[in-house]
Amino acid sequence: MTLSTKHAPLKDRAALLATVSEAVWQGVVIGIAKRAGWLVYHVHDSRTQEWGTDPGFPDLVMVRDDRILFVEIKREHGRVARTQTPWLQALDLPGIEVYIWRPSHEDIVRQVLA
């Protein structure tokens, strides 16, 4: 699945990307990753866990070969929550890739996951 906006006029493309939900975008990213041979783990909403999990953990963990990615999925204009920032900073270590991906990043996503 792709967002199929590449041939839309720039203004129309921006308007279309703004309507893509986080769930739909996450499905697109997972599909790209699976087709490229990544193992994918989706972290369920850490804000609702009652057994000691700190909120804000990234949405996806992906592993392939010697690479591990932590990915926060956002709508086009979605904001990183203050509870997410400490996780994203803590995970940004040598050998670990940390990303925040929005629908307009589809080409970058495909390059990273290729």
CATH code at position 20: 3.40.1350.10
- Report the 10 Å Cβ neighbour count for 99: 18
Domain residues for 43?
A: 10-113
| Alpha carbon distance 17, 63 (integer Å) | 27
Confidence (pLDDT) at 96 = 97
Residue 5 has pLDDT above 60, yes or no: no
Domain count, the chain: 1
CB 63 within 8 A of CB 96: no
Confidence (pLDDT) at 38 = 98
20-72 pLDDT, tens per residue? 899 999 999 999 999 999 999 998 765 555 666 788 999 999 999 999 999 99
Residue 2 lies in a domain: no
What is the separation of C-alpha 86 from the centre of its chain, rounded to a whole number of angstroms?
Answer: 17
Residue 39 lies in a domain: yes
CB 108 within 8 A of CB 101: yes
**3-state secondary structure at position 72:** strand
Residue 36 lies in a domain: yes
88 pLDDT band, cuts 50/70/90, is very high
**% of the chain surpassing 70 pLDDT:** 83
